[in-house]
Chains A and B, each alone.
Chain A
Amino acid sequence: MPHWLAVTIENSVESLNRVFHLLRQRHLPVGPISMCRTEDPQDLRLLIPVDPARVDPQRVRANLEKLLCVKAVEDWGERPLVIRDMALVKVRAPSEAWVEIAQLAEFYRARIVDVGPETLIVEVTGSAEKVDSCIARLQRFGVVEVTRSGPMAMVRGQAEAAPADRMAEAAA
């Protein structure tokens, strides 16, 4: 289970550049980063997994907080989270395979969202493991292409404001 840092930044190419530049420059060993939009179109949320055995999450956080484009860093390490990944999977599918693919999709609560002359696109949502597993099952039909959002996450049950607002309150 990775230790998540939820980093809210300004939604711009420049601020993404600054964040990635910093992580690279400081050689901070972080895992694959996913990027989501939020309720505010001006914001982006980055989810950065950190392995505490390799780097102190507090150090990653302290470095990120130096950037002016970073609006908030939340350490979600110990909190209960809802984590969802989404994939679009293009599968080679002659018409005789459609039923079988549809049944498999049903099992994963996935949906077929495009039907082409030789391919289907399957949309699957869930934990990273579930999405992995679904893609693995589809392999035998021939997977042409996969795009994935990477994990999106939210803390369960909290009725507080979103991190950027809380941080602004704290600063005020």
Chain B
Amino acid sequence: MDTATMAQTQVAPRTIRRERRRMKTAWAVMEALVREGVEVIFGVPGGASLPLYDALYDYPQIRHVLVRHEQCAIHMAEGYARATGKPGVCFTTSGPGATNLVTGLTDAMMDSTPLVAITGQVPTFFMGGDAFQEADVIGVTMSITKHNWLVRTPAQAPEAVHMAFRLATDGRPGPTLVDLPRDVLLAEADFILEDPEAFRPSRPRPPFPDERALRQAADLIAQSQRPILYVGGGVIHSGAAPEIRALAEKARIPVATTLMGLGAFPEDHPYALKMLGMHGTVYANFAINFSDLIIAVGARFDDRVTGKLSAFAPHAKVIHIDIDPAEINKNRRADVALIGDAKSILRALLPLVRPPDTEAWWRQIEDWRARYPLRYRQGEDVIKPQFAIQMIYELTKDYRPIVTLDVGQHQMWAAQFFTWTEPRTCITSGGLGTMGFGLPAAVGAQFGRPDRLVININGDGSFQMTFQALITAVEWQLPIKVFIINNQYLGMVRQWQELFYNRRYSAVYLANPDFARMAEAVGAAGIRVERPDQVEPAVRQALAITDRPVVVDIHVDPEENCFPMIPSGMTVFDTMIAPGVKAVP
């Protein structure tokens, strides 16, 4: 199928020459962006950022994608970054434009997504005086960026932009922000345009793990009887999926991935235990909790993985491989900490690894796997959400789609019922759980990967949080497929109210519009699905439409629950596989 229907503009070859030119700061900012290889910017113009947009007019090699809300712009930048590994870029104006980035910046910080936000600011001589559309963006975004820069003079601008790109991808990736006052953008000055590589943040870096630490880790692996690899999003950022596979195969170690790690290890591999955690597979959770050695790679022992921390995997030693020294001993004490890039560390570790005897351990795991598969029961009348998701998977898998998920029950079902095999194909909001992430992320992913089929699996609640992104997708004729798993509830909240709040359904019913007609109204295709036998033809019909986005509104069982579930703050011994039914190890 031809998904590359977007107009592809040729990106100018990167100038790496050092040159001196007189120009306005806004143009120097654009020059810096060109030198960083930026192809696409998501944004909305406004008063303070007018000079920047004036300069943008002179740079047709950079596409600007006009969004209808800045939150869409930053989630698009996130989707672009997660699909490509390159930093996403967004532009907003001062005040409300910039504050609308707060959710996306926090999201990117939590999920270590590299992106650069460039915000307009009121002129320096107004700053601090509550000027029109003034907001203390540096203060507001201080804790949700890796670093942010307020540019006070023209000379600081190119350096701030280049440093923002370096820092966004340096070490643990994350978001950065450059705040540009209007008078600075308009000021003319002599600029020295540099090769981006001339800018490096000078920060102390922990030394690469020494031979002794690597040997200690290898010894722990050799001595273990019940080892498990616990693989997080860091493996995807690092590009360490092949090394994870090599380690698993060499030492015959089962692999469980976090939500962020989906795709880091192929789930069709016999060693894959799929996702662990609150809605992970029973066998992955049993395996990690009964393990005697956890090899955590690019993962941070999040509460959605551990449940009650003090009772989590009580007999396990921990090898913690992470690029961020601040993650070591944050939630769980590490017996051996290997700080650095996962790929390099695994490469250094692999030759030292001696396979432990895991025969008995595998027998135990296979017993759990046989007893507790993921399951649901599809009847004749009502569509089960798991059935719809499985059908979407089966009918699209040959395209190797990039899939963005929003947040809620559909996200967990998709995590469970897709077979994830490739890094950067599952893009979702993990740490922050940002409803509204999925649709704009799909738009961003499609801009980053015009060659790939991009699917968004959404919920009816979350779809309505950033629906405007569909308008942008129509404008650019992006052939993304949006599947709304529509249960007319804020489903995950309803599930918790059912299970833990005596079925007191408070503020969870959604009086929804007709999503198919809504899609048609903005120029996308809309398909409504209400019976199980309609699912397959609808998915096929959606795949056949390649000149615009398609929204498939799938009406599913409103009260289906997402299981397995380890209730918040509980342990693996509290795993529910149905209401009132617990899994037994």
| Residue ranges of A at the interface with B (Cβ–Cβ < 8 Å) | 14, 17-18, 21-22, 25, 56, 58-59, 62-63, 65-68, 72, 167-168, 170-171
Interface size on B, residues (CB 8 A): 17
Q: In the assembly, what is the distance between CA of A167 and CA of B204, in Å?
A: 7
Q: Is B146 an interface residue (CB 8 A)?
A: yes
Does A22 contact B143, Cβ atoms closer than 8 Å? yes
A-B residue pair count with CB separations less than 8 angstroms: 39
Does A66 contact B326, Cβ atoms closer than 8 Å? yes
Question: Chain B residues near A21 (CB, 8 Å)?
Answer: 142-143
Q: Is B239 an interface residue (CB 8 A)?
A: no
Does B204 contact A17, Cβ atoms closer than 8 Å? no
Does A68 contact B201, Cβ atoms closer than 8 Å? yes
Q: Shortest 10 CB-CB distances between A and B: which pairs? A: A62-B325, A62-B326, A25-B143, A171-B202, A63-B326, A21-B142, A68-B147, A56-B329, A65-B204, A21-B143
Q: Is B328 an interface residue (CB 8 A)?
A: yes
Q: Beyond A68-B203, A167-B204, list 9 extra A-B contacts (CB 8 Å).
A: A14-B138, A17-B139, A56-B329, A59-B328, A62-B324, A66-B146, A168-B202, A171-B202, A171-B204
Question: Chain B residues near A18 (CB, 8 Å)?
Answer: 142
Q: Which chain A residue has the least Cβ–Cβ distance from B172?
A: A66
Least Cβ distance of A104 to chain B in Å?
A: 46
Question: Chain A residues near B139 (CB, 8 Å)?
Answer: 17
Instruction: Encode B323-345 as 1/0 by CB contact (under 8 A) with A.
Output: 01110111000000000000000
Least Cβ distance of A44 to chain B in Å?
A: 18
Q: Which chain B residue has the least Cβ–Cβ distance from A56?
A: B329
Does A65 contact B325, Cβ atoms closer than 8 Å? yes
Question: Chain B residues near A167 (CB, 8 Å)?
Answer: 204
Q: In the assembly, what is the distance between CA of A58 and CA of B138, in Å?
A: 27
Q: In the assembly, what is the distance between CA of A73 and CA of B139, in Å?
A: 23
Q: Which chain B residue has the least Cβ–Cβ distance from A18?
A: B142
Set B142, B147, B325, B328: member contacting A17, Cβ < 8 A: B142
Q: In the assembly, what is the distance between CA of A14 and CA of B150, in Å?
A: 10
Set A59, A68, A72: member contacting B326, Cβ < 8 A: A59
Q: In the assembly, what is the distance between CA of A58 and CA of B324, in Å?
A: 12
Q: In the assembly, what is the distance between CA of A25 and CA of B325, in Å?
A: 17
Question: Chain A residues near B203 (CB, 8 Å)?
Answer: 65-66, 68, 171
Question: Chain B residues near A63 (CB, 8 Å)?
Answer: 326
Does B142 contact A59, Cβ atoms closer than 8 Å? no
Question: Chain B residues near A168 (CB, 8 Å)?
Answer: 202
Question: Chain A residues near B326 (CB, 8 Å)?
Answer: 59, 62-63, 66
Q: In the assembly, what is the distance between CA of A66 and CA of B147, in Å?
A: 9
Q: In the assembly, what is the distance between CA of A59 and CA of B328, in Å?
A: 7
Question: Chain B residues near A17 (CB, 8 Å)?
Answer: 139, 142
Does A59 contact B330, Cβ atoms closer than 8 Å? yes
Question: Chain A residues near B138 (CB, 8 Å)?
Answer: 14
Least Cβ distance of A56 to chain B in Å?
A: 5
Q: In the assembly, what is the distance between CA of A3 and CA of B575, in Å?
A: 42
Q: In the assembly, what is the distance between CA of A117 and CA of B324, in Å?
A: 60
Q: In the assembly, what is the distance between CA of A21 and CA of B144, in Å?
A: 11
Question: Chain A residues near B325 (CB, 8 Å)?
Answer: 58, 62, 65
Least Cβ distance of B133 to chain A in Å?
A: 22
Does B204 contact A62, Cβ atoms closer than 8 Å? no
List, sorted by A's number, 22 A–B pairs whose CB atoms are closer than 8 Å: A17-B139, A22-B143, A25-B143, A58-B325, A58-B328, A59-B326, A62-B324, A62-B325, A62-B326, A62-B328, A65-B203, A65-B204, A66-B203, A66-B326, A68-B147, A68-B167, A68-B203, A168-B202, A170-B204, A171-B202, A171-B203, A171-B204
Q: In the assembly, what is the distance between CA of A18 and CA of B147, in Å?
A: 9
Question: Chain B residues near A58 (CB, 8 Å)?
Answer: 325, 328-329
Least Cβ distance of A77 to chain B in Å?
A: 16
Least Cβ distance of B368 to chain A in Å?
A: 35
Q: In the assembly, what is the distance between CA of A72 and CA of B325, in Å?
A: 15
Instruction: Encode B174-205 as 1/0 by CB contact (under 8 A) with A.
Output: 00000000000000000000000000011110
Question: Chain B residues near A56 (CB, 8 Å)?
Answer: 329
Instruction: Encode B447-474 as 1/0 by CB contact (under 8 A) with A.
Output: 0000000000000000000000000000
Q: In the assembly, what is the distance between CA of A14 and CA of B167, in Å?
A: 19
Question: Chain B residues near A59 (CB, 8 Å)?
Answer: 326, 328-330
Q: In the assembly, what is the distance between CA of A18 and CA of B202, in Å?
A: 17
Q: Which chain A residue has the least Cβ–Cβ distance from B333?
A: A56
Q: In the assembly, what is the distance between CA of A18 and CA of B138, in Å?
A: 10
Q: In the assembly, what is the distance between CA of A22 and CA of B146, in Å?
A: 11
Question: Chain A residues near B329 (CB, 8 Å)?
Answer: 56, 58-59
Question: Chain B residues near A14 (CB, 8 Å)?
Answer: 138
Question: Chain B residues near A65 (CB, 8 Å)?
Answer: 203-204, 325
Q: Which chain A residue has the least Cβ–Cβ distance from B205?
A: A171
Q: In the assembly, what is the distance between CA of A69 and CA of B154, in Å?
A: 21
